[in-house]
Structure 1
């Protein structure tokens, strides 16, 4: 016989999901890679250590505990573009990482002596920063994106540079590619003879207009004969991204469609035209949405998003067929391949942020079973399941005739409480950051904190969010503070109209760009009774003089 629920007003339910639990339990994930033995290396940020980034190494045996690679006193994090990402690189037994305190690069052995050895000069005030490194065995160097703040009074200089791995810490890295405002994704061909990269300049953002270039790595290590292979047509607006080489040395790229070409300067063609997004806004380094598996060079595994939901699939270049790979995860990103194993960051309404491995059989579409290798909470969630709310997607009309927007709606949920029959719950609306990011359905203790106490929660994907195509994202162009504000209000009003929430108890919060949306909503609209802005930008004049160089013309 089931337990009788206690009748208590919405908002007054008791829950074990305390503020301390929410703020201190979840680790951040800063990327992952594998060593030469196929053992996972990942970067986790620890709330218990003020967010310190620590590299971890998968245990040698199944079920054995992982090892810490990063010694005390070091914090793996880069500040390139301020948002960072791509803070470490792994090759065989070696890892090279950026240290937060001085932004220098250090080399470290995964096995044996793990004493970090500096590779770059020391500069005052973290003036030179590095990210997105790849190993170049031909010249025993690391090719990186560098951001240089040494010249005062002007914007920092971004370039692609080479860092020697010989341990000469005072040796100035050599510039390889320069002249544009921003660079990402330096990628070497398998034979080390060619380098691909992505570049763009103000006033564009990396999801607006970018180009992919390929250059020859000459005998002295310099980059010569650069050729634009995508994004070079001034009459076409495209955001080409994520250049990647196949085992056959053919370069592939992502342009919110998976596309590729057969040779440098050759014709670029769409491989899989469909209404989906095959990459994400490049606010940070280290994004990876697809990879080659097997030995043929014709098999790709990829993650794409449709209407805010991720899908995993394999794609056969020879036949042009896309085949789904079954997985319970609805939020998939930062995918990479080792042999026939694909690793990715993932989450779902029942899974917190995790690292997942799937084994793929070449030529067998859709084959594979997923294994969770790491979880941001790292605890047994079973005792908390009675307190978890399952989201559903809500589509609602916006203030613009004929347009709709979306939100992930979480009704109140608690296995031990029930509200009076005629009462409707208070609502908390969240306006996500970016503002071009998106609300996902990954299990988030910060949301469950509210729903387990009897609140409804709406995580809004207002116009401008990713996951719904370029046209949806571009609704926010020149309309930040208008479209997002209207959509958050429309969402709350819609939920009240259909009887899901109490129209007199509507609240809103948001972080960063979402904090600005929150404050604009409270100032210019009457929909919400209360709100909270977490580190939101409130003065656009401050934004122009204090924001990062990446954001300065956003």
Structure 2
């Protein structure tokens, strides 16, 4: 006979999901690829024996170090590089592909100095640096982090090809970029500098051509990108480039050389990122694209990090693709798009193919990210890494995919994570508090996956809803461009519409709704608190708060996003009034309730200046607020200690604001 649940106020349910447990499960795989014998696989080319799956892995328990890992000969994951090697870089500040294999050599970028290093491929179970054979390939910059490298790829004549980023002045926007080749003996040669922003060249199967993407301010890569092609000379240099496709409002998010040596692109001339063949001769009007098996589905994504892969050829007619983040097989003969392993609802854009199987990093509603191998013909899933040790499943909230409607009829996708506990329930006359989660970007999105960060709250009786507001990717260009010149309006309204619906249907307590988010989601959270009466509190993490200052002219933004805001808010100087009207920092008198501010002090994307000005302006206002700055943290929190402190502070904040006890976390000092 089942026991009746204990009745306890929402927010006070005892939970085994501690902040430390959330941090411990946060080792995140990324940048996966397949290494074959002496070199990597490109398309379906097997250039050596013995495919091995490699990836980078962020480790909060090691201070956020990114390790390099592979599946060893015994079938178990093993580190390739021991500490202190940190396989990460600052390209575009978000980072580009940080490792590659050329012949019998591993090349990687190291966070501490941003240089490229080389090491022989490991043998047996020993790490590549176990005998001290790691050596620098690029020179030490005169200024720390003054020269950065990223998006590493195999080049001609055994060289590593990459994007080089050079600081040219004291401002965050004083940056130049070029494509470079680094030889085995450390000779660095510039190959081309066609655009202000670049992806590294990709060598064609016959070694005769190279192809890359380029774009310039004010475009972001999801606005428009150009496809560049150049001949490769006999000495490995590039000849004059030609723009053969793209531009003119068309975005290309991935290039790859296909099984027959053709150049393929995920491009969106139709409004959806779809597979196209690229004419190497170009085309009238500069389009240069031939659609292959067009579908009304998003097969690509936003190119926040160069080197991302949403597509990998399986054979001459079939391609593994990510359709809005879910694995599918695109058959170009039948024109069909077939879902594969639908229980895995979110894949990282790091698809690769080994022996006809798809390998990648995937998660689902009941599982966090793991490295998996999937047989595309029948969807059989093999987990190559152990699934992270999780709290009991009955404490984990399972996302509910829903579509909400705004007052003017716009559909807004969202994922609802209701409170869940095997032994507790709330009083009949009480509705739970809810947190509206605004994702970053704002050109980002949420997925229907297990989220321990969310379950930390839901297992205590606090619901969460993650909103894909207008501007989110995965729903076509039209939905993405709902946010064009409407940032601070559409995102705010969409989140509020979701919150109001949850209240109206009796799901959420209208007096205990908060909004939370980081980066661009931090802006949406703060803007929501100053423009709507929907929320009673907000957690704002590493945010943008003054739009006019978050431009290349304002000086508080890095180069990659220096003109992003022009498309999100409007061109300057003619729309300068909008910038002030939508900036939370200029509307503190309208702040609807308490604010918790969390900020990394080493953040180069959203520096602490704006958060500190916001908090300083609240002193003496009578509005409860708290500010937690974290030494050594960049954009997003990486170390376990920070993750724990931030989560516990957030729970304590909601308890104090919404009036429930949180005895298992330290009290938070709220200033006024």
**C-alpha separation between the residues in 1 aligned to 2:252 and 2:375?**
29
8 Å contact from structure 2 (residues 519, 541) kept in 1: yes
Q: Distance in 2 between matches of 1:424 and 1:152?
A: 53
Corresponding residue number in structure 1 for 2:177: 158
- 2: CA distance, partners of 1:319 / 1:250: 20
**Aligned equivalent of 1:25:** 25
Tell me which residue corresponds to 2:458: 451
Cα distance in 2 for partners of 1:436, 1:268 equals: 25
Aligned pair partner of 1:327 in 297, 322, 342? 342
Residues 174-195 of structure 1 show CA distances to partners (whole Å, capped at 9, x for unaligned) of 1212131101152111111110
> Whose helix proportion is higher, 1 or 2?
2
Task: Look up the match of 1:257.
Answer: 274
Cα RMSD between the aligned structures?
1.9
Question: What SS is found at the alignment partner of 2:20?
Answer: helix
Q: How far 1:93 moved relative to its partner?
A: 4.1
Q: Which residue of 1 aligns with 2:83?
A: 72
- 2: CA distance between counterparts of 1:185 and 1:257? 21
Using the alignment, how far apart are the partners of 2:253 and 2:443 within structure 1?
16
**Structure 2 matches for 1:486-497, cutoff 5 A?**
486-497=493-504
2:558 match: 548
Structure 1 consecutive aligned stretches of length 4 or more whose deviation exceeds 6 Å:
none
Provide the TM-score with structure 2 as the length reference: 0.76
Structure 2: distance between partners of 1:416 and 1:34: 45
Paired residues, number: 529
**Pairwise CA distance, 1:211:** 1.3
Tell me, in whole angstroms, the C-alpha distance in 1 between the residues paired with 2:282 and 2:548. 43
CA distance in 1, matches of 2:220, 2:213: 12
Q: How far does the alpha carbon of each residue in 1:72-120 deviate from its partner, in whole angstroms, 9 at most, with x for none?
A: 2221110010110311113454321100111000011232552311100
CA shift, 1:292, in A, is 1.2
2:102 and 2:160 in contact (8 A); partners too: no
Which blocks of at least 5 consecutive residues in structure 1 are unaligned? 361-365
What is the distance in 2 between the residues matched to 1:301 and 1:105? 31
Secondary structure of residue in 1 paired with 2:392: helix
**Is residue 250 of structure 2 the alignment partner of residue 238 of structure 1?**
yes
Which residue in 1 is equivalent to 2:633?
none
Q: How far is 1:412 from its partner?
A: 0.8
How far residue 549 of structure 1 moved from its aligned partner, in angstroms, is 0.5
Distance in 2, matches of 1:413 and 1:374, equals: 28
- Per the alignment, in what secondary structure is the counterpart of residue 550 of structure 1? helix
Is contact 1:30–1:85 with CA below 8 Å preserved after alignment? no
- After superposition, give the CA deviation of every residue in 1:302-344 in whole Å (9 maximum; x if it has no partner): 1111xxxx33222333443433323311112321123312112
> Is the alpha carbon distance of 1:327 and 1:264 closer, same or farther for their aligned partners in structure 2, counting shifts above 3 Å?
farther
Alpha-carbon distance in 2 for matches of 1:510, 1:552: 21
Q: Helix, strand or coil for the counterpart of 2:479?
A: helix
Whether the 8 Å CA contact 1:230–1:240 is kept in 2: the answer is no
Contact 1:104–1:120 (Cα < 8 Å) also in 2: yes
Q: What does residue range 72-111 of structure 1 map to in structure 2 within 5 Å?
A: 72-91=83-102, 93-111=104-122
Is 1:385 matched up with 2:393? yes
CA distance in structure 2 between the partners assigned to 1:191 and 1:22 by the alignment: 47
Task: Name the residue aligned to 2:369.
Answer: 353
Structure 2 alignment gaps of length 5 or more: 37-49, 268-272, 565-672
* Residue 284 (str. 1) matches residue 294 (str. 2): no
Cα deviation, 1:196-250, whole Å, max 9, x if unaligned, reads 1111100000000111121110113222242323215x4xx21022110012110
- Change in Cα spacing, 1:60 to 1:40, as seen in structure 2 (3 Å) is same
Given that residues 293 and 339 in structure 1 are in contact (C-alpha distance below 8 angstroms), is that contact kept between their aligned partners in structure 2? no
Tell me the equivalent position of 2:52: 39
Instruction: Give the Å deviation of 1:517.
Output: 1.0
* Separation in structure 1 between the aligned mates of residue 82 and residue 192 of structure 2, nearest angstrom: 33
Give the superposition deviation at 1:254. Answer: 0.2
Q: 1:35, 1:93 within 8 Å by CA — same for their partners in 2?
A: no
Q: Distance in 2 between matches of 1:32 and 1:322?
A: 24
Structure that is richer in strand per residue: 1
- Give the conservation status (yes or no) of the 8 Å contact 1:510–1:518: yes
